[in-house]
Amino acid sequence: MNILYLVNMNENNIKGLFTANHEKIMAIQSLLGKNDTLNMYSVQFYDVGVGKILKKIKGKKLFVNNGESFERDGVVYRKEYLKVNIRNRMIEKQDDDYEKYKEFIEKHEKEILNCDAVVAMWGYPHGRLAYHIGKKYNKPYFVQYYGSDIHTNPYRNENVKKKVVEILNNASNNFFVSEKLKESANGLGWNKNNWSLTKNGVNFKKFYQIDKKEKEELKNELSIKDEIVIGYVGSLTEVKRSDALIDIYSKVDEKRKCKYIFVGDGDMRSQVEEDAKKNNLDTIFTGNVDISDVNRYMNLMDIMVLPSRREGFGSVIVEANSLGVLAIGSDAGGIPEVIGNDRYIVKEGENFEQRYADTIIESIDSGWSKEELIDRTRKEYDWKNIARDDLDIIRRVIKHEE
């Protein structure tokens, strides 16, 4: 079996999506036979032409060509770039946007001809590239959807929405990380039966309980004593409802003084920090850190919150649960499916922040079984089992095509 993988990974932005792509790739590699082949390309972007000049003038972030490959955990990802320019933006508005992807397709024609299937690990534009490869060379293609590639981005641009629906309709199989995300895809106008549910897992070699000495040293370093530690792990952005965190924590602090750790960064960080100071909260902001440090900080947490407005899956929930850390989330997207207990879900509506704070306080008072959280995670979220299910579907399609 020869599979061409198109991943949405930027080595300078190692967050949830990067980790999910990478961990699934590693699990798939571990299951392949000696005659199986994976050709992997990290499809990134770079600005060129007049658009690049205008971005510079306006002080906007530029996409740049930053090398031919990168390596992580011994896995080498070759990089290819899609040009971001005025011409390609015009092509994107047309029903036939093949020209936008032509350069990549022609450059890799030999690999495409030799592959049995194409897998895109993001809905758009990666799924669109897979769509054009499938259409031109009659190759089955599969698309993995994670969240905003379905529930947000298509709703911002009608041209993108039309193309995502076309991707969905023509794929051999669409993999969704939650039932809720699949329902969001239905809302775009896709209603075919070419889909299955997959999950994001957890790498138990990277998320594990650190020893008592290391934990005490880290607590001393951060001036943590006997307080309950409430954590947040992820981007500090509107979609994650980061603007509500301080309001929630302030209401918790009125009844129970806690320590609050923020692991991550984003365009709302400065505002969140400022609000935390105004409310005299005992906070720690780590910024973006390596996965090993995420594990260390999670080991200090008692409760982790995820009050997202939109969420495809919520991998941090599984990572936290694998350590016995209780996760409390909103009812957005796949969060309720991942948490699996309505007791720890805060529904949308009036007094959201107060109800969220009340759920945290009630959970602190009543306690929870760390062992049950750990056992459930190991049974349901092992990457190798998840990858095996995905590969079974891909193999069945390839065998049928033959």
**Residue 282: pLDDT over 90:** yes
Closest CA to 345 of 332, 327, 364, 330: 330
pLDDT exceeding 90 applies to what percent of the chain? 75
Same domain (yes/no): 331, 396: no
Question: Is 207 within a domain?
Answer: no
Same domain (yes/no): 231, 186: no
Question: Is 253 within a domain?
Answer: yes
For 395, the domain range is 2-201+382-401
Same domain (yes/no): 396, 315: no
Question: Is 171 within a domain?
Answer: yes
Question: Is 206 within a domain?
Answer: no
Same domain (yes/no): 183, 286: no
Question: Is 220 within a domain?
Answer: yes
The total number of structural domains in the chain stands at 2
**Residue 218: pLDDT over 70:** yes
Measure Cα distances from 321 to 84, 94, 226, 303, 344 in Å: 40, 45, 21, 10, 13
Question: Is 229 within a domain?
Answer: yes
Same domain (yes/no): 115, 230: no
CATH number of the domain enclosing 123 = 3.40.50.2000
Task: Give the confidence band of 123 by pLDDT, cuts at 50, 70, 90.
Answer: very high
**Residue 402: pLDDT over 60:** no
**Residue 13: pLDDT over 80:** no
- What is the DSSP code (8-state) at residue 211? P
Same domain (yes/no): 257, 352: yes
Same domain (yes/no): 102, 219: no
Task: Give the confidence band of 234 by pLDDT, cuts at 50, 70, 90.
Answer: very high
What is the distance between the alpha carbons of residues 314 and 178, in angstroms, rounded to a whole number?
Answer: 10
Residues 6 or more apart in contact with residue 7 via CB below 8 angstroms? 21, 25, 40, 41, 42, 43, 77, 121, 122, 126
Residue 62 is predicted with a pLDDT of: 63
Same domain (yes/no): 70, 164: yes
More confident of the two residues 45 and 53: 45
Residue 94 is predicted with a pLDDT of: 87
Residues 6 or more apart in contact with residue 192 via CB below 8 angstroms? 168, 169
What is the distance between the alpha carbons of residues 349 and 358, in angstroms, rounded to a whole number?
Answer: 14
Strand boundaries in 48-197, DSSP class E: 69-72, 75-84, 117-120, 141-145, 173-176, 195-197
Question: Is 150 within a domain?
Answer: yes
Task: Give the confidence band of 318 by pLDDT, cuts at 50, 70, 90.
Answer: very high
Same domain (yes/no): 367, 391: no
Closest CA to 150 of 114, 179, 111: 179
Question: Is 335 within a domain?
Answer: yes
Q: Residues 323-357: pLDDT tens digits? A: 999 999 999 988 998 999 999 999 999 999 999 99
In this prediction, residues 184-206 reach a mean pLDDT of: 94
Same domain (yes/no): 193, 220: no
Same domain (yes/no): 57, 188: yes
Q: Residues 46-101: pLDDT tens digits? A: 777 766 666 666 777 666 667 888 998 889 999 998 887 778 788 888 889 999 99
Same domain (yes/no): 167, 20: yes
Q: Which two tokens stand for residue 152?
A: 């947000």
**Residue 266: pLDDT over 60:** yes
Average pLDDT score over the chain: 91
